[in-house]
């Protein structure tokens, strides 16, 4: 067979791109039929400016889907396996399991940051270890698994990665979920469900700061800031709880 340098180089480059994905798939415990979905789940929007791809090529749409799938699967699992817990208790456990802190921790266990596609500026600013980026990409991967293999494969992934040692996770103080605690507090007082609104966004994409307000019955309970919407919401809920504790005392 005649040696063809162009084909050899093309196959070599293809292999260099695919091998890291195979490594990540082994860590995930799932092999993609459509690898493009996995690539999309790893693509941060900051990298699009350097590659010239469209905005919808980043992981944000898959993250939106993965968040919904995660909520459904975790809710159904808790409902089925904890029949003696009421709505407030189930909500609190779920909030901890799907929190940014827990998802980013799970992402670090599989070294997800190594495989992310970021702009050079985002990478230099520590994007590959940033909690918000890791948790968002983790949810995007879940969305990709759902599209690639369906709800059964997504459920298998969630059960093997997130639903083990639920008791230890829910009691871990480092994963304290102020949003879940605030929800439980307001429901106990018949004050309804807290609503979170973005009040301000500052800074470039790779150093964005969000300010969020939390409201109940059109009354602002607290504000919080953070490098992600989820972090800002947690800080707003924490401030709200501190104020409610003072008022009740």
67 is catalytic: yes
| Beta carbons of 177 and 233 less than 8 angstroms apart | no
Neighbours of 233 (CB within 10 A): 24
Cross-strand pairs, 202: 209
- Helix axis angle, 60-81 relative to 151-161, nearest 10°? 70
Tokens of 184: 């439980």
C-alpha separations of 111 from 23, 25, 41, 134, 226 in Å: 11, 12, 15, 10, 23
Is residue 59 packed enough to be buried (19+ CB in 10 Å), middle (13-18) or exposed (0-12)?
buried
Give the span between the Cα atoms of 168 and 209, in whole angstroms.
Answer: 32
DSSP state of 31: -
Q: Which position among 40, 63, 67, 231 bears the catalytic label? A: 67
139 is catalytic: yes
Residue found under tokens 């969630």: 158
Sign of CA dihedral 171, 176, 181, 183: negative
Q: Which position among 139, 148, 155, 233 bears the catalytic label? A: 139
Angle at 56 between CA 51 and CA 58, to 5 degrees: 60
End-to-end CA, the chain? 85
Catalytic (active-site) positions? 67, 139
């Amino acid at each position: 067979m005649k040696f063809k340098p162009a084909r050899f180089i093309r196959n070599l480059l293809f292999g260099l791109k695919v091998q890291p994905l195979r490594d990540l798939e082994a860590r995930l415990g799932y092999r993609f039929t459509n690898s493009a979905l996995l690539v999309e789940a790893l693509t941060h929007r900051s990298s699009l400016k350097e590659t010239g791809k469209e905005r919808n090529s980043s992981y944000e749409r898959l993250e939106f889907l993965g968040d919904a799938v995660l909520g459904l699967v975790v809710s159904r699992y808790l409902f089925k396996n904890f029949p003696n817990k009421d709505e407030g208790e189930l909500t609190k456990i779920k909030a901890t399991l799907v929190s940014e802190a827990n998802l980013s921790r799970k992402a670090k266990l599989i070294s997800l940051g190594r495989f992310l596609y970021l702009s050079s500026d985002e990478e230099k600013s520590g994007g590959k270890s940033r909690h918000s980026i890791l948790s968002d990409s983790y949810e995007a991967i879940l969305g990709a698994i759902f599209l690639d293999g369906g709800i059964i494969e997504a459920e298998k992934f969630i059960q093997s990665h997130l639903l083990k040692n639920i008791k230890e996770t829910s009691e871990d103080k480092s994963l304290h979920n102020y949003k879940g605690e605030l929800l439980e507090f307001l429901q106990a007082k018949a004050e309804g469900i807290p609503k979170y609104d973005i009040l301000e966004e500052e800074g470039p994409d790779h150093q964005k700061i969000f300010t969020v307000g939390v409201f109940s019955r059109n009354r602002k309970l607290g504000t919080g800031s953070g490098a992600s919407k989820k972090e800002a919401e947690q800080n707003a809920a924490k401030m709200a709880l501190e104020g409610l504790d003072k008022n009740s005392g």
